[in-house]
């Protein structure tokens, strides 16, 4: 039997405290890219009780995604936006989850991200990452932006860190490793970077903005 909304909230409140859980429940975050980073970030934020999550991705679940992304074999071929929504509804049935199956670019970012004060950049492609970061910083300098760069291979997880680049911009990763430079993306190290992003988002919501 699924617990009631009140029961689930009370359990989170006991874990996080009343004031912090209220902040989480009132927060709204948009996650751009639902691959190894985005799917893991979304799961962490949903489990923490973040009230509103908006998911954006244009891609479908592929068998190559299963080594590091929060999808299941029976979701192959589904759009990631729908598959992850279904999964998150099982994890956090009372979280307000919306999604869009669309590819973000300079022309639609101002509209699609306007309602969300915190933006998580979770793309796999370096050019897409740069495009999103630059567009958000240009159009929405007041938004909180948490991005990632460098998580490939099997280097020490201790090299993955969170840095505050500017007042409203944080970057997670080792800043060096690239999928084209040798060993590709490994589940655990990608999850470490995603955990850095999710932690930074929760810190921002809590009012703690230092990296």
Q: pLDDT tens digits for 135-150? A: 999 999 999 999 999 9
pLDDT in tens, 98-139: 999 999 999 999 999 999 999 999 998 899 999 999 999 999
Give helix 18-26 / helix 5-16 axis angle, nearest 10°.
120
* Dihedral pair phi/psi, residue 12, rounded to 5°: -70, -40
Q: Is the dihedral of CA 117, 138, 108, 77 positive or negative?
A: negative
Question: What is the percent of the chain with per-residue pLDDT over 90, rounded to a whole number?
Answer: 91
The architecture in CATH of the region 5-206 reads 3-Layer(aba) Sandwich (3.40)
| C-alpha to C-alpha distance for 103 and 193, rounded to whole angstroms | 23
Q: What is the pTM of this model?
A: 0.96
């Amino acid at each position: 039997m699924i617990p009631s909304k009140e029961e689930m909230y009370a359990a989170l409140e006991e874990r996080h405290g009343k004031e912090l859980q209220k902040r989480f429940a009132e927060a709204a975050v948009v996650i751009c890219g639902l691959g190894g980073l985005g799917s893991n970030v979304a799961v962490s934020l949903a489990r923490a009780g973040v009230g509103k999550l908006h998911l954006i991705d244009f891609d479908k679940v592929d068998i190559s995604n299963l080594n590091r992304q929060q999808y299941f074999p029976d979701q192959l071929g589904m759009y990631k936006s729908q598959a992850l929504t279904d999964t998150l509804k099982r994890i956090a049935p009372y979280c307000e989850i919306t999604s869009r199956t669309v590819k973000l670019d300079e022309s639609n970012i101002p509209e699609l991200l306007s309602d969300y004060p915190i933006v998580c950049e979770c793309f796999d492609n370096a050019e897409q990452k740069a495009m999103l970061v630059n567009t958000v910083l240009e159009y929405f300098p007041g938004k909180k932006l948490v991005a990632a760069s460098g998580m490939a291979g099997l280097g020490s997880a201790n090299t993955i860190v969170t840095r505050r680049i500017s007042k409203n911009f944080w970057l997670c990763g080792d800043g060096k490793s690239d999928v084209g430079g040798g060993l590709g993306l490994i589940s655990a190290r990608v999850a470490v970077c995603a955990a850095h992003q999710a932690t930074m988002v929760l810190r921002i919501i809590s009012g703690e903005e230092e990296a």
